[in-house]
Amino acid sequence: MSEYRGYTGRSLTLLKDCKAKVGDTVRITGELTYTGILMPRYEYNDDEHIVLKLKSGYNVGIKINEIKKIEVLSSNEIKKETLQSHPKNSLLPKVLLLSTGGTIASKIDYRTGGVTPALTASELHGTIPELSEIANIDTEVLFSEYSENLLPEHWKKITEKLDSYAKSDYKGIIIAHGTDTMQYTASFLSFALAAFPIPIALVGSQRSSDRPSSDATLNLISAVRFVIECNVRGIFVVMHHNESDDLIACHLGTRVRKIHTSKRSAFQTIGGDPAFLILDKKIQKNLDHEYFKNKNYSPKINYDAHVVLVKYYPGFDPKLLTTIIELGYKAIIFEGTGLGHIGKTLYESVKKAKERGLFLGMTSQCIDGRVRMTVYESGRDLLNLGVIPLDNMIPETALVKAMWALGNTKNVDEMKSLMLENIASEITN
């Protein structure tokens, strides 16, 4: 029940006996006397404490064994938040905000003690009134999922929705997305919607919107400012550039990787600088070329998920590759060592995969640099076995591109040609 959120066992019984509910102002008498608002608890915590928010703003946990009396001073029914509506300004550009879930659209969940997808796109907009001073925001919810739950089929649904707005009068489109798999979604959109006529920015946050340290507000405001002012086509990831609140980075969707679990500056462009930086509301362009210049928009939104990313390590069992082949996978992206190597114990399995018609691509486990398989004998052996070097393509990007290429070609030869073509700056100079 919401009026006793997170309370179980003995603490729940005590509250019910005293007719005290979450949100009530109560006085608890024990060894000391406390007055405050009864707060919800995390369901997975013990049942031996009651939590009050004191007038000072601090929370205090009180052991129920020390409680002599609970008095309800006032009953405050918890009401659903009402968000202020934002009138449209005909002088401002239009931006579409799509929500898929993730931390940026989350709040604290007192059932688990973690954060859970809770905000709709409209609510997310409503919590940041500054957005209405920049653009007229239309909102739509596509999903409400943590990003680890998003599958290639979700990528396609996002792509289809975006394609339906290709001829709209929006200045740009924002996608609120969880950070954990944002780089995968950004990569798929980059290939499927290459040369989309308006900018698309994926934006997330490392901390939920209701936390004082949240990066959601600045990231979202910056993303909106970016899509209406950048005057460039492409798919971008817009997130904090460092731990301060004054610099935002706009990364190319195919060159970005999440490199930290919890820092607000979790994302980094691999092999170069971010495409754009936003400092004090000013957008600095770092690209030395016009993204998708002179390219026509021709969406290719199919995919085939029969692709696997194999990270090589010493002791890798060749039987795993055999199993992948027998399961009917059609492509393998290797994340090899150094310049693009895997151990010779896998050569027979690689040969079998090639004979079965699988596409075999090589990337590197190194954070930066290029695959060069002609330097060492082992690399040349793999080339002779049919492994295709994928230059400095990020392994995750290569995986997504292979799914996309496989779904939009008729055979492995066509797929190979598409994998080696630089579609969306996935390969850099």
For residue 46, the model assigns a pLDDT of 81
- Residue 190, phi then psi, degrees to nearest 5: -60, -40
Across residues 181-204, what is the average pLDDT?
Answer: 97
As a whole-number percent, the residues of the chain with pLDDT over 70 amount to 88
Q: What is the pLDDT of residues 361-379, one digit of tens each?
A: 999 999 999 999 999 999 9
30-34, 105-109, 282-286, 329-333: range with lowest mean pLDDT:
105-109
Helix (H, G, I), strand (E, B) or coil at 221: helix
Q: Tokens 């968000």 label which residue?
A: 83
Across residues 258-286, what is the average pLDDT?
Answer: 93
Confidence label for 109 from pLDDT (cuts 50, 70 and 90): very low
Quick one: fold of 307-420?
Rossmann fold (3.40.50)
Give the CATH architecture of domain 94-285: 3-Layer(aba) Sandwich (3.40)
> Alpha-carbon distance 114 to 338, whole Å?
38
For residue 193, the model assigns a pLDDT of 98
Q: What is the pLDDT of residues 199-235, one digit of tens each?
A: 999 999 887 655 555 788 899 999 999 999 998 999 9
Across residues 415-425, what is the average pLDDT?
Answer: 96
Q: Which two tokens stand for residue 173?
A: 């489109």
R_g of the chain, CA atoms, integer Å? 26
Q: How many Cβ atoms sit within 10 Å of the Cβ of residue 229?
A: 18
Confidence label for 119 from pLDDT (cuts 50, 70 and 90): low
Q: What is the pLDDT of residues 45-69, one digit of tens each?
A: 788 999 998 887 778 999 999 999 9
> Alpha-carbon distance 267 to 180, whole Å?
10
Same CATH fold assignment for domains 94-285 and 307-420: yes
Contact present, 269 and 287 (Cβ < 8 Å): no
* pTM exceeds cut of 0.95: no
Across residues 237-251, what is the average pLDDT?
Answer: 92
Would you please indicate which residues are annotated as catalytic (active-site) residues? 103, 179-180, 258
Question: Which CATH code fits 2-74?
Answer: 2.30.30.520
Confidence label for 392 from pLDDT (cuts 50, 70 and 90): very high
For residue 1, pLDDT over 50 is answered with: no
Could you state, in order of their start, the residue ranges of all structural domains in the chain?
Answer: 2-74, 94-285, 307-420
Which residues on adjacent β-strands are paired with residue 175? 98, 202
For residue 191, the model assigns a pLDDT of 98
- Residue 275, phi then psi, degrees to nearest 5: -60, -40
Contact present, 407 and 302 (Cβ < 8 Å): yes
- What angle, rounded to 10 degrees, do the helices at 377-384 and 347-355 form? 20
For residue 81, the model assigns a pLDDT of 47
Q: Tokens 């693009």 label which residue?
A: 340
